[in-house]
Amino acid sequence: MIRIVNVNALTQDLCEAETFARYDTEYRCVMTRTAEELIDAARDAEVVLFTFSAFTEEVFAALPKLRLLVRYGIGYDTVDLAAARAHGVTVCNAPTYGTIDVAEHAFALLQAANRKIPSFDAGVRAGSWGACAAYPSHRLRGAVLGLVGFGRIARNMARIAEGFGMETAAYDPFVSQEDAGKTRMLPLEELLRVSDYVSLHAPLNAENRHLIRRETLARMKDGAVLINTARGGLVDTAALADALKAGKLRAAGLDVFDAEPLPADSPLFALENVVLTPHTAWLTEESLVSLHEEVTDEVVRYLEGKPNLHVVNR
């Protein structure tokens, strides 16, 4: 019997229990928040599903039966991939389930920040007809959207932006101009210099943590707008807040943060030119179903002895 454990059971199973019951498995859902709880819950598991838990060398060493680790989501920066390889664990993610949903949310943040939607809404509710944030709005047609990272989500966002008459450019060292089509591929420094809107779509790793910091913010176009639906660690929050206060950046739209939930003393709360959402860019009814199906499919492949599709530590 193969034991499968979901160690971060955040949502109701949509297909997992019924699907796994067709095989010789034991499936459990628990909520663990510490390494000790994780190890205790998954000690006898051959397959582990997770969302936010950290899988370090210590954790892998304590789970000798573990062979497949699957994340409910795209990013896998909480997993020590080298340790996983050393312990013979295949790590998979779910890279396709919410790509259009995150792109739609990123563009919604761009529009909300640009057109000051939250401020107008607050003004109407407070009885101050016409009151709004002090910074200006601009027409999108003809503006340049710069995409940092040009994977599935960024490409969907580029298609949305083109429908609004925007020009699109991207920085991604792994994508050629031929592969990018209409989107211009640029070095990062040039992308930051020419873009009216910069949207982050890169994975987080040791090399690009705080990619957006004081030095890179200084290179951005005066009055640019920053959007982040990728990973909070890509942005130095204190530096961003200072740039927004000083007017270097006109506005920002953020769905992800260095610390989540966003701490009560975050400087972002005091700024009228930032739109905040709680790491929900992926969340639609359709994407939720797709997420569970994508994770379940990776497990079924393992159970049937087939190659996994979305392995991140080959």
CA distances from 51 to 13, 164, 167, 276 (A): 13, 35, 35, 22
DSSP symbol at 221: P
Locate 53 and state its tokens.
Answer: 């838990």
Q: Compute φ and ψ for 243, nearest 5 degrees.
A: -65, -35
- Are residues 7 and 50 in contact, defined by beta-carbon separation less than 8 angstroms? yes
Is 139 noted as a catalytic residue in this protein? Answer: no
Q: Which of the following is catalytic: 231, 250, 292, 310? A: 231
Locate 266 and state its tokens.
Answer: 């975050």
- Are residues 247 and 274 in contact, defined by beta-carbon separation less than 8 angstroms? no
Is 279 noted as a catalytic residue in this protein? Answer: yes
Burial 238-269 (b: 16+ CB within 10 A, else e): ebbbebbeeebbbbbbbbbbbeeebeeebebe
Q: Is 162 helix (H, G, I), strand (E, B) or coil?
A: helix
Q: Which of the following is catalytic: 3, 87, 193, 279? A: 279
Rounded to whole angstroms, the Cα distance separating 219 from 156 reads 26
Q: Which of the following is catalytic: 57, 58, 215, 260? A: 260
Given the structure tokens 């987080």, which residue do they identify?
Answer: 204
Packing angle of the helix pair 99-114, 117-125 (nearest 10 deg): 60
Please work out, in degrees rounded to the nearest 5, the angle formed at the alpha carbon of residue 313 by the alpha carbons of 308 and 314: 65
Q: Compute φ and ψ for 107, nearest 5 degrees.
A: -70, -30
Question: For the chain, where are the E strands, in sequence order?
Answer: 2-6, 25-29, 47-50, 68-71, 90-92, 144-148, 167-171, 184-185, 197-200, 224-228, 249-254, 274-276
What positions carry a catalytic annotation? Answer: 231, 260, 279
